Amino acid sequence: MKGKYKITVKNNRLQYEFEIKRNITVIRGDSATGKTTLINMLRQAENLGSSSGIDVICSAPCRILEGASWQLILENSSGTIFFTDEENAFINTKEFAEAVRNSDNYYVLITRESLYNLPYSVEEIYGLHCSGKYHDTKRAYQQMYQIYSGYHELPVMPEKIVTEDTNSGFEFFKAVGEENGISCESAGGKSNIFRLIEQTGKESVCVIADGAAIGPEMDRLYQCALSKGNIYLYFPESFEWLILSSGLIQGKEIRTILAHPENFLDSREYFSWERFFTALLVEYTKDSHLRYSKAKLNQAYLHERNRKFILESIQGITFQ
């Protein structure tokens, strides 16, 4: 499944409007914010059709995923946007994560919990609010807003960098840090970042991780950054996205893809956008001196000109 989808769910007194563009979208928030009402409206529309008085407008089918037969439903569905909420305990299971990985559907997950088995983007964690843009009518309009839209308190000149993993991204930032007197440490995986930054002292620490999959860790990282005051979060889509967006790899096709990745990325083939950008970079550099490998950094990326391209594409972090 590819593309961006606008969804409208409405009756004579309430209307929800939002767009989704990734295979996993998470809607969070406290009670009485309209999450349960949205699920109920979708359920009524699916079960009762036009007699429900509810219109669901979207270019793709929108369905509720719930109950004991959820696996069977997914096995027999394609090109569908599924909505489910935290009352369905299966959304926290490895079985559900595996089913999402192997399906050709989009998922809107309504939950207050962090779903550690799923790689969802920090950019796709939303709350609901009444927009008020049609205040002169009797219908209330609910829209989504990004919960973590202002999470990066940049600019910063870090004394220490913490990266998510030990691969090429870590090697790049470690080399840059050594040149500029900045220590760099790998967390060895996104689930270890919180533990690592909790142990830091008073030095300014910049955490660099793949925004395309950091969603499950975002709440506690954000709260830690707020409480400590010296933790700065920088979450680009991925290190590979940084390289592609820097202009180092020339090509009109790359610019077109980066402008709207959702139109080129098949959710069945790529569980997260990070994997897509890795495959894209590998493909476009395979016959050049910039041949990319995620496991080990090609030293050509550390050459002065190439390094400069990448660093200048990073907004808000000063390395020297």
Residue spans of the domains in the chain: they are: 5-146, 160-312
- What number is the average pLDDT over the span 286-314? 96
DSSP for residue 93: S
Q: Which residue has the tokens 């139109």?
A: 263
Angle between helices 252-259 and 273-285 (to 10 degrees): 180
Q: Which residues contact 27 (CB under 8 A, 6 or more apart)?
A: 35, 38, 108, 109, 110, 111, 126, 127, 128, 144
- Residues in the chain, overall count: 320
Q: Which token pair is 282?
A: 């590998």
What is the torsion angle, in degrees rounded to the nearest 10, for the CA atoms of residue 89, residue 91, residue 96 and residue 100? 160
> How far, in Å, are 12, 27, 91, 181, 186 from residue 30 at the CA level?
25, 10, 18, 44, 34
More confident residue, 138 or 125: 125
What pTM was estimated for this model as a whole?
A: 0.92
| Of the candidates 28, 33, 41, the residue with the CA atom closest to the CA atom of residue 108 | 28
Q: How far apart are CA 145 and CA 129, in angstroms?
A: 7
- List pLDDT tens digits, range 62-92: 999 999 999 999 999 999 999 999 999 999 9
> How far, in Å, are 152, 235, 238, 289 from residue 284 at the CA level?
30, 23, 16, 11
Q: Which residues contact 158 (CB under 8 A, 6 or more apart)?
A: 182, 204, 205, 206, 232, 317
| Of the candidates 119, 29, 107, 48, the residue with the CA atom closest to the CA atom of residue 74 | 107
- List pLDDT tens digits, range 216-228: 999 999 999 999 9
In this predicted structure, the answer to whether residue 135 has a pLDDT above a threshold of 50 is no
- What number is the average pLDDT over the span 58-63? 97
Read off φ and ψ for residue 296, nearest 5 degrees: -145, 130
DSSP for residue 231: E
Q: What 3-state class would DSSP assign to 18?
A: strand
Helical ranges in the chain per DSSP H: 35-48, 70-75, 94-101, 168-180, 193-198, 218-228, 239-245, 252-259, 273-285, 304-312
pLDDT, residue 199, reads 86
pLDDT, residue 136, reads 47
Q: How far apart are CA 191 and CA 188, in angstroms?
A: 8
Q: What is the mean pLDDT of the chain?
A: 92
* pLDDT confidence tier of residue 138, bands split at 50, 70 and 90: low
Q: Are 306 and 168 in contact (CB under 8 A)?
A: no
pLDDT, residue 139, reads 67
Q: In what order do the strands lie in the sheet with 205-208?
A: 183-186, 160-163, 205-208, 231-234
DSSP for residue 111: -
> In this structure, is the dihedral angle defined by the CA atoms of residues 199, 320, 306 and 244, taken in order, positive or negative?
positive
Q: Are 270 and 257 in contact (CB under 8 A)?
A: no
Q: Which residues pair with 139 in a beta bridge?
A: none
pLDDT, residue 133, reads 55
